[in-house]
Amino acid sequence: METFTIKDIARELNLSTSTVSRALRGSYEINPETKRLVMECAERLNYRPNPIALSLKGSASRAIGVILPQIANYFFSQAINGIEAIAYNRGYHVIIFQSQESYEREIANVQQSMSRKVDGLLMSLSSETSNVAHLQEVLDKNVPLVLFDRVSAELNVTKVVADNFGGAFAATEHLIQSGRRRIAHLTIQPWLSITQERLAGYRAALEKHGLVFDESLVRYGSFGPDEVGPMVDELMRYPSPPDAFFTASDRLAVGCLQALRQRNLHIPDDVSLIGFTNLNVAELLAPPLSTVVQPAQEIGQIAAERLIDQIERKQRALPIETVRIPTELIVRTSTMPEMVKL
């Protein structure tokens, strides 16, 4: 099956390419009969407009770019699923770039997607990103941009995030209500919006229940596979060690579970553990892991919807807002000593 162009149709029908182009787009200044002929011929040849040529012309490419830190991550891969589903339904293609948590690569990704003329950009910031000038430039070029999950307060754009404050609050309160008093919080880079919101939820819950916020129980970082263990050791050496861990990501939840088990700390008898995670196997872990579930797929869907809405009604500016998706607390054995005995 070769690939036919508008020229082939024009030649076949003895028309000019302009006429064919206009007929295909349904222009009013083309004879209905001519239109029919063109449509029929296009159908017959299985004509598909060349997206590259369209992009060059500057018109819509019907592609949206997605830039995120890592694909191999439960949260993001589910978010992509949501994005793809919506995009596909609405006739858009998705081009995915990974920043690998690198600021430089994120900039390169943005440049790439701009020069590939995507119709819009969906982003979740790398952990190294604090300066958002490169995104401001995107906006200046009038390219629709929607941020999700890892967003920046400095940009006046539509954002779709989980209710991080609420989720963290619920998790922390749950730990307190199940009798915990020294709750460690393992989290990611402090300048990220999600980190701050979760930390705020954690603090708020502590304060509500009259517990003092102890800075030394909060640890930030990009925790590689071997970094969680030492940190747990350090925390457990305290005169009054934590009796619970609240972690802020998939990676941390798993790393922490592993570290605790390796150290023969029994969960939940010695310490409770609860994570912010989308692990679908959370229930099958030993012990089954309590979590705050962020609806990753839904976040992706809503972000994609907002973006495409913006792309398609470009003339009239859509309201810019922050959509906050509720999170869900799921209590399992890792935070419920009484469940162990059942």
Residues that bind its own copies (CB under 8 A): 1, 3, 48, 50-53, 55-56, 70-73, 77-78, 80-81, 84, 88, 93-98, 100, 105, 111-112, 114-117, 137, 254, 257-258, 261, 279-281, 283-288
Q: Which does 15 bind (CB under 5 to 8 A by kind): its own copies, DNA, none?
A: DNA
Residues 23-82 that bind DNA (CB under 7 A): 24-25, 29-34, 47-50, 52-54, 56-59
CA distance 99 to 125: 8
CB atoms within 10 A of CB 90: 15
Q: Which does 156 bind (CB under 5 to 8 A by kind): its own copies, DNA, none?
A: none
Residue 328, CA atoms < 13 Å, CB-side half-sphere = 7
**DSSP letter, residue 247:** E
Q: Which does 72 bind (CB under 5 to 8 A by kind): DNA, its own copies, none?
A: its own copies
- Min. distance of Cβ 26 from DNA in angstroms? 11
Is residue 19 a contact residue for DNA (CB under 7 A)? yes
Which of 1/212 has CB closer to its own copies?
Answer: 1
Is residue 216 a contact residue for DNA (CB under 7 A)? no
Which of 57/209 has CB closer to DNA?
Answer: 57
Which of 98/172 has CB closer to its own copies?
Answer: 98
- Min. distance of Cβ 116 from its own copies in angstroms? 6
Integer angstrom CA distances of residue 243 from 184, 209, 240:
8, 16, 9
Which of 58/319 has CB closer to DNA?
Answer: 58
CA distance 144 to 311: 6
CA distance 22 to 310: 26
Exactly one of 15, 170, 205, 302 binds DNA (CB under 7 A); that residue is 15
* Closest-CA residue to 303 (of 158, 152, 154): 158
Are 147 and 321 in contact, with CB atoms under 8 Å apart?
A: no
Q: Give how many residues touch DNA by CB under 7 A.
A: 30
Exactly one of 6, 80, 175, 289 binds DNA (CB under 7 A); that residue is 6
Is residue 215 a contact residue for DNA (CB under 7 A)? no
Residue 298, CA atoms < 13 Å, CB-side half-sphere = 13
Which of 48/266 has CB closer to DNA?
Answer: 48
Residue 316's Cβ-count burial label (10 Å; 0-12, 13-18, 19+) is exposed
* Closest-CA residue to 69 (of 137, 129, 114): 129
* Closest-CA residue to 18 (of 28, 6, 32, 5): 6
Site string for DNA, 142-171 (x = CB under 7 A): ------------------------------
Which residues have C-beta within 8 Å of that of residue 185, sequence separation ≥ 6? 198, 199, 202, 217, 218, 219, 245, 246, 247, 248
- Min. distance of Cβ 254 from its own copies in angstroms? 6
Lookup: tokens for 101: 């948590």
CA distance 246 to 330: 13
Which of 52/340 has CB closer to DNA?
Answer: 52
Q: Which does 280 bind (CB under 5 to 8 A by kind): DNA, its own copies, none?
A: its own copies
- Min. distance of Cβ 91 from DNA in angstroms? 14
Give the residues lining the site for DNA (CB under 7 A): 5-7, 14-19, 21-22, 24-25, 29-34, 47-50, 52-54, 56-59
